[in-house]
Amino acid sequence: MSRRTGPGGFLISRRRQGNTTPYGAHDELEAPLQAFVRRECKRRDLLHYHTHRSERSERGFPDSVIVGPRGVMFRELKSNIGRPDPHQLRWILRLRAAGADAAIWTPKDRRSGQILNDLNWLARAPGRTRTLPADLAKTLYLFSRADEEPAAGAHWDAGSAHVDHDRWHLHAQTTIRMVLAALPHTPDQVGQWLREHHLTSPEASRVFAALRDDLARSATGLS
């Protein structure tokens, strides 16, 4: 049977006499995946809603609605051989267009850790303040993965197991100490630095701009 692609690039199922036509093997089914999602939501104190009997419900509405400190997720669950039908696809695309976090999960996402990454992110309370060490640690990690891992930022934010956060926080602390050591400290050193940059009674914005220029030139010289 040929496959059809719907809006958004999703593969969609063909329907015959109102039933979705299966694509082949039945080794990885939707029911165990739904049980897994429900169990992991409970472990993280996430609210999880699933309509068990959908005969009288709106057609295509996502299988799981999950609520946590960071917001709401809508997830359609499919086996590895399943595809969203046009009604399900319409809901996913409309939710996304409205700014909602809507997607499709399959057993492959369970094996890759994507489902747990998404749930971990949703369960974590958003940080109230940003700190320079934390921002720098993430920036260093993203620089190291810029070419090979486009989703590096998502993995960092989700707390993925394969991301060594402690290592990058240590790198950030070391970098901050190195920059601090290179900055002028004494009044004479500060005065000399200001004169070299032609800054007399400068505004803070001009000082930071000059400092950024110095750091940028240094980084260019090291590249």
For residue 208, the model assigns a pLDDT of 80
Give the β-pairing of 15-16 and 19-20. Answer: antiparallel
Query: What are residue 76's phi and psi, to 5 degrees?
Result: -90, 130
Look up the CATH number of domain 4-123.
Answer: 3.40.1350.10
Q: How far lies 182's CA from each of 106, 167, 185, 218, 223, in Å? A: 51, 23, 9, 11, 19
In 3D space, the residue among 192, 197, 201 whose CA is nearest the CA of residue 212 turns out to be: 197
pLDDT for residue 86 is more than 60: yes
Contact 156, 163 (CB under 8 A): yes
Q: How many CB atoms lie within 10 A of CB 170?
A: 13
Q: Mean pLDDT: which of 87-101, 172-186, 189-203, 207-221 is highest?
A: 87-101
Which one is predicted more confidently, 181 or 92? Answer: 92
Q: What is the percentage of the chain residues whose pLDDT exceeds 70?
A: 76
| Whole-prediction pTM | 0.49
The structural domains of the chain, with segments of one domain joined by +, span: 4-123, 130-182, 184-223
3-state helix, strand, coil in the chain (%, to 5): 50, 15, 35
pLDDT for residue 68 is more than 60: yes
